[in-house]
Structure 1
Amino acid sequence: MIFYFSGTGNSYHTARMLAEGLGDHMVNLAEAAKAGNYTYTLKPGEKLGFVFPVYSWAPPKAVEDFIKNLELYYADDIYTYAVCTCGDSAGETMSILEGCLQENGLSLDSGFSVVMPDNYVVMFRVDSPEEQRKKWQHADEVIQLILRAVKLEKRDFFRVKKGRGSFVKSNIINPLFRRFATKTDAFYPTVNCIGCGLCAQVCTSGCITMAAGVPVWEEDHCNMCLACLHRCPQHAIQYGKKTVKKGRYLHPDYQKGPQS
């Protein structure tokens, strides 16, 4: 069973490749959390995987919260692994995730990071199409290596690109990010909005509602995944002035259409 979280498709693609290679099935943990579905049963011999993006050098808070509420039933010792997708480095993401699992009585046998095109256009510009293609190709090669390690059930096996200053980034910068950079008051739809409601449909936290044909963001539980902004078919969603002249990003798996 693979629990995944994805805003623009990087982690969805990673989870899909792993699921296909393992003959496993995927659970969208954001949708599961919104529905209050936290109870699952693992079949004998079934592996437990978590796939998610890195947000400011840590797992998304939604992923941490889901794991803390997760109620698993299983008969045998389970092999647990995690894969995080990141723009450059993951910091102490895997250590933080391991702590969450331990709080729930679970251990982490292996962990991996996969570099993907960055999509946090609040601060950065998206990669060029050529850079994106190169990263996608290299990522797929890395995922195949991860798949091999998971099939072999390698334990105490971690291949994570932490980067420099990982402790400071994950333990000081990330709490500041969660406190100050996840507010929704800067989101707004432009005149190009056609009221299709896709932004509300793909919102990983369920904090977008449609009012009079336009999206409205609640303030208290945004994941800052930017799915609403990147997946808008009209490029009609902005975050203050920071995203006006910047591109949008979707992994090819998400360019095919909305994913549940």
Structure 2
Amino acid sequence: MPERGAVTFDVKAYTRTPIDLRPDNLDLSALADLDGPTLAVLDYLWHVEHGVLDLMRDVLVTPTHAESEVTAFLVTWGYEQYWLARSLHEVLTAHGGPSDAGRDSAVGVVLRAWDERARPMLHSVRTNLLGEQVVAGHLAACWLDTAALALSYRRLGSLVPACTALTEAVLPMKERHLDFYTAQLRERIGEPAAARHARRAASSWRWPGTRYTGHDAVLPVVETLLADPAARTDVTALDTRLQQLLDVAPLTAVRSALGRFVR
């Protein structure tokens, strides 16, 4: 059965109270002596958080932009994402700046060119023909992206005590984003077409940051955060939440996405 409960999301309250995680709010001295693997994780998180703002481009050419609550949410979401990315960049700058780890692979270069030039127009035509039910697919993909990033921050905080203050500042932001996607999906999932779009999006979802760089570039970070068998419980818990939310038991989107890292 679908995940039930009285979870609602007050978009107006959210837009009035954004989480303002600016660099000035960070204690950079506590992050002064980070080791290589930790910096690689932060570098990965910066590339993803910075790049995820491209979602605005993809969403605003689809019927999703006509959803007033979704649009209002995305405006504040974009503000929060911007400052989160700036804060992560500040931490990396104190250690020499971001690396080239997020550089596109040969295939990624082609994909990015496609996404930036041709895909928005074709995506707009396709999604507008399909109608408002495609919104559920966007929401499902956003839920998975956010859940995966929240798991990454949570694991980073547990593995590196120096990063605990940073991750504890980020996680409430991610949880609010998840609450919004959850509330929206629960409202829509009863419609068969919306459910199909959501399940299709979840089935084709891939781990954040791998579309352009490929899995090899992200593998060291995933190994740092999730190679510990103790992390399996958290991965299973995310898949279980998604199954309940979309009312589809065989779906293991997170585990399947991680399986693509296996050489």
Which has the larger strand fraction? 1
Which has the larger helix fraction? 2
TM-score by length of 2: 0.26
Q: Which structure has the higher relative contact order (CA within 8 Å, separation 6+)?
A: 2
